[in-house]
Amino acid sequence: MTQLTDWKHVFKLDPDKEISDEALEKICESGTDAIIVGGTDHITLDGVLDLLSSIRRYSVPCYLEVTDAEVLTPGFDGYLIPMVLNSTDKQWILGQQHEAIKEYREVMNWDEIFMEGYCIMNPDCKAFKKTSCELPLDEDVLAYAYMAEHVFHLPVFYLEYSGTYGSAELAKKVKNELQNTHFIYGGGIQTAAQAKEMKEYADTIVVGNSVYTNLKEALKTVKAVKQ
Ligand code: 1GP
């Protein structure tokens, strides 16, 4: 199975959003490297399990991004755990993770768990507000990327513009800051050209919302980064 560090392209699906069987088939058979199940609001265990079982009809790897320990469930190929580095509230950086580790550490398999150092860059997105982020300047973002790699030794740094297309110039600078930590970019990718542009710098690009708004264009992002 493709390792996270080999991912070029992933789709992120939200258990709170409706998706037809036909659309799901196209997404899972698109050639993407993995599907991430994750979202910010109204995430329920039932919703997560429903989506997981639908995705499991296909061979594509399926990862859960754990934004709420209540929906943790076995059966995924891996688990992504965000630490929101630009949050002003400790609970989103270390607090919830600390609680989850107290409860689950006996059953945690670190071969399938990946901590993600998140930097959330869109002040209008739900995750930014929910996790009480402050908008960093470029130099701050680069320092967070540096900390992700050298202070926390995180496997992943995630530049998150959820809902809006971000700065390719900043993505380029972030890439230059990272040697060992895998660089994921997500946010606002709707076209093959945008996918290609961000993939110049990011190791992996994530396409989320556009599968719900314009699936045809969203599907083209796969080929755009895999040629
Ligand atoms: C969201 O980074 C992902 O967590 C993808 O963002 O929904 O804007 O594509 P979009």
CA atoms within a 13 Å half-sphere pointing along the CA-CB vector of 3 = 6
pLDDT of residue 41: 87
For residue 1, with 0-12 CB atoms within 10 Å meaning exposed, 13-18 middle and 19 or more buried, which class applies?
exposed
Give residue 95's pLDDT band: very low, low, confident or very high (50, 70, 90).
very high
Ligand-binding site membership of 21 (annotated):
no
Per-residue pLDDT tens digits for 189-223: 999 999 999 999 999 999 999 999 999 999 999 99
Pocket lining: 67 vs ligand 1, CB cutoff 6 Å: no
Helix (H, G, I), strand (E, B) or coil at 146: helix
Say if domain 4-226 classifies as CATH 3.20.20.390: yes
Pocket lining: 82 vs ligand 1, CB cutoff 6 Å: no
Query: What distance in angstroms lies between residue 205's CA and the mean position of ligand 1's atoms?
Result: 9
What residues pair up with 63 in beta bridges, in sequence order?
36, 78
Encoded tokens for 191: 């076209």
Please give the distance of CA 177 from its chain centroid, rounded to a whole number: 19
For atom 9 of ligand 1, which residue has the closest CA? 208
Task: Identify the residue whose tokens are 């630490």.
Answer: 83
CA distance 76 to 91: 25
Ligand-binding site membership of 87 (annotated):
no
- The residue whose CB lies within 8 Å of the most ligand 1 atoms, and thus the one to mutate among 19, 66, 190, 209, is 209
Per-residue pLDDT tens digits for 24-59: 999 999 999 999 999 988 899 999 999 999 999 999
- The residue whose CB lies within 8 Å of the most ligand 1 atoms, and thus the one to mutate among 16, 65, 121, 207, is 207
pLDDT of residue 227: 76
Query: What distance in angstroms lies between residue 188's CA and the mean position of ligand 1's atoms?
Result: 6
Contact of 3 with 181, CB cutoff 8 Å:
no
Region 19-23: what's the mean pLDDT? 97
For atom 6 of ligand 1, which residue has the closest CA? 187
Over the chain, what is the mean pLDDT? 96
pLDDT of residue 218: 98
CA torsion, points 201, 120, 221, 23, in degrees to nearest 10?
160
The 3-state secondary structure of 38-107 reads CCCCCCCHHHHHHHHHHHCCCCCCEEEECCCHHHCCCCCCEEEEEEECCECCHHHHHHHHHHHHHHHHHH
For atom 4 of ligand 1, which residue has the closest CA? 162
Give residue 85's pLDDT band: very low, low, confident or very high (50, 70, 90).
very high
Query: What distance in angstroms lies between residue 12's CA and the mean position of ligand 1's atoms?
Result: 7
pLDDT of residue 155: 97
Domains of the chain, by residue range, sit at: 4-226
The residue count for the chain: 227
pTM for this entry: 0.97
